[in-house]
């Protein structure tokens, strides 16, 4: 029996890319010896993305859709697809054709050779992004590698192949905040990364704004590390030890006859500095506390509005 591939594609306002993507993927996959299915996850699109997917589902019996109840974000859309996919391997890729389908045969070959995870990373800085975005992206990867326990290649992408046994592990993960690139590294297994040069977006605009990206970056780092809390503790320790050393210095200066009481401005500066530092540290602690609060609610990662996958609704909304 042929092995089956499930290709999961999160889509948010991608109406003009769907039919082109399906035809490109069919072209690349027809030359391989696998059965394959496409699972589009419509992440609360405001345009006609869902209709476009439905048109493809009418044309091809192996095109399926999961329509989420609202926009949950790409990682959550991916989780919805992964929870439902049943292929021997699953491939996740973007709907905008930035992830080149011609890499698929190479990824499949590596899988057949025994790798459980074949992921991709940008060969060089994406030629289609602006200077400040490159800088922010570099900072993000440096930051997450420095203060968390996983190491991500600069420009690691969501274009990847996962063996069924990896998918089974990912399905078990019950986390409020999901950052797939990190999770996939974290699960381990036999992994290999291949470089790729991203294509230009087929049509439309990338939907992540600067603030959405910044929020995502901080959230991702916090989801993978409690080291900011240790940094806060270290900072507190450093300043309290320094303050302790300062007291004997004042006393000695007083008895030695120096005027230890001058320096009003520097006193105010120091008080303001420590006030700020305490708020910062409280903020860090509070953010983790907030995440615990959200996690304890055990809300589902996503809600499905409708799907044409042949399972009962209850099966699908188990999460």
Chain contacts with Mg ion (rule: CB under 5 A): 96, 98, 206
Least distance in Å: CB of 15 to ligand UDP? 10
The nearer residue to Mg ion, 59 or 206, going by C-beta atoms, is 206
The nearer residue to ligand UDP, 12 or 36, going by C-beta atoms, is 12
**Which residues 27-56 are close enough to bind ligand UDP by CB under 6 A?**
43
- How many other CB atoms are there within 10 angstroms of residue 165's CB atom? 11
**Which of 175, 188, 189 is CA-nearest to residue 220?**
175
Least distance in Å: CB of 77 to ligand UDP? 4
The nearer residue to Mg ion, 134 or 171, going by C-beta atoms, is 134
Q: Which of 6, 7, 8, 14 binds ligand UDP (CB under 6 A)?
A: 14
Contact status: 12 vs ligand UDP (CB under 6 A): yes
SS (H, E, C) the chain: CCCEEEEEEEECCCCCCHHHHHHHHHHHHHCCCCEEEEEEEECCCCCCHHHHHHHHHHHCCCEEEEEECCCCCHHHHHHHHHHHCCCCEEEECCCCCCCCHHHHHHHHHHHHCCCCEEEEEECCCCCCCCHHHHHHHHHHHHHHHHHCCCCCCCCEEEEEEEEHHHHHHHHHCCCCCCCHHHHHHHCCCCEEEEEECCCCCCCCCCCCCHHHHHHHHHHHHHHHCCHHHHHHHHHHHHHHHHHHHHHHHHHHHHHCCCCCCCCHHHHHHHHHHHHHHHHHHHHHHHHHHHHHHHHHCCCCCCCEEEECCCCCHHHHCCC
With CB under 5 to 8 Å by kind, the binding choice for 39 among Mg ion, ligand UDP, none is none
With CB under 5 to 8 Å by kind, the binding choice for 207 among Mg ion, ligand UDP, none is ligand UDP
Least distance in Å: CB of 121 to ligand UDP? 13
Least distance in Å: CB of 94 to Mg ion? 5
Interface with ligand UDP: number of residues (CB under 6 A): 16
Least distance in Å: CB of 164 to Mg ion? 27
Least distance in Å: CB of 74 to ligand UDP? 4
Strand partners, 119: 160, 193
With CB under 5 to 8 Å by kind, the binding choice for 77 among Mg ion, ligand UDP, none is ligand UDP
The nearer residue to ligand UDP, 56 or 98, going by C-beta atoms, is 98
With CB under 5 to 8 Å by kind, the binding choice for 208 among ligand UDP, Mg ion, none is ligand UDP
Q: Which of 6, 8, 10, 304 binds ligand UDP (CB under 6 A)?
A: 10
Least distance in Å: CB of 94 to ligand UDP? 4
CA distance 204 to 211: 19
The nearer residue to ligand UDP, 10 or 87, going by C-beta atoms, is 10
Q: Which of 5, 7, 8, 11 binds ligand UDP (CB under 6 A)?
A: 11
User: Pairing between strand 89-92 and 156-163?
Assistant: antiparallel
Q: Which of 6, 56, 92, 98 binds ligand UDP (CB under 6 A)?
A: 98
Q: Which residues contact 83 (CB under 8 A, 6 or more apart)?
A: 171, 319
**Which residues 160-219 are close enough to bind ligand UDP by CB under 6 A?**
206-208
Applying CB under 6 A, which residues contact ligand UDP?
Answer: 10-12, 14, 43, 71, 73-74, 77, 94-96, 98, 206-208
């Amino acid at each position: 029996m042929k092995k089956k591939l499930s290709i999961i594609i999160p889509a948010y306002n991608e109406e003009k890319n769907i039919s082109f993507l399906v035809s490109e993927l069919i072209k690349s996959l027809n030359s391989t010896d696998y059965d394959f299915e496409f699972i589009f996850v419509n992440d609360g699109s405001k345009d006609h993305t869902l209709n476009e997917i439905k048109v493809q589902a009418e044309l091809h019996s192996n095109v399926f859709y999961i329509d989420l109840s609202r926009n949950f974000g790409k990682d959550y859309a991916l989780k919805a697809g992964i929870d439902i996919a049943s292929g021997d391997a699953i491939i996740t890729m973007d709907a905008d054709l930035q992830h080149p389908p011609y890499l698929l045969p190479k990824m499949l070959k590596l899988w057949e050779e025994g790798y459980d995870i074949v992921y991709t990373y940008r060969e060089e800085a994406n030629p289609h992004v602006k200077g400040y975005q490159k800088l922010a992206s570099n900072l993000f990867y440096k930051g997450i590698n420095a203060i968390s326990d996983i190491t991500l290649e600069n420009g690691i992408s969501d274009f990847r192949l996962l063996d069924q046994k990896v998918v089974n592990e990912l399905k078990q993960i019950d986390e409020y905040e999901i950052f797939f690139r990190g999770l996939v590294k974290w699960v381990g297994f036999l992994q290999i990364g291949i470089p790729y040069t991203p294509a230009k977006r087929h049509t439309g605009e990338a939907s992540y704004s600067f603030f959405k990206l910044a929020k995502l970056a901080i959230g991702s780092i916090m989801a993978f590390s409690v080291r900011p809390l240790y940094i806060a503790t270290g900072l507190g320790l450093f300043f309290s030890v320094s303050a302790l050393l300062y007291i004997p210095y004042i006393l000695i200066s007083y008895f030695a006859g120096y005027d230890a009481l001058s320096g009003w401005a520097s006193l105010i500066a120091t008080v303001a500095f420590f006030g700020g530092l305490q708020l910062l540290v409280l903020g860090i602690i509070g953010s983790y506390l907030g995440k615990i609060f959200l996690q304890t609610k055990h809300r589902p990662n996503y809600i499905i509005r409708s799907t044409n996958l042949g399972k009962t609704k209850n099966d699908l909304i188990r999460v």
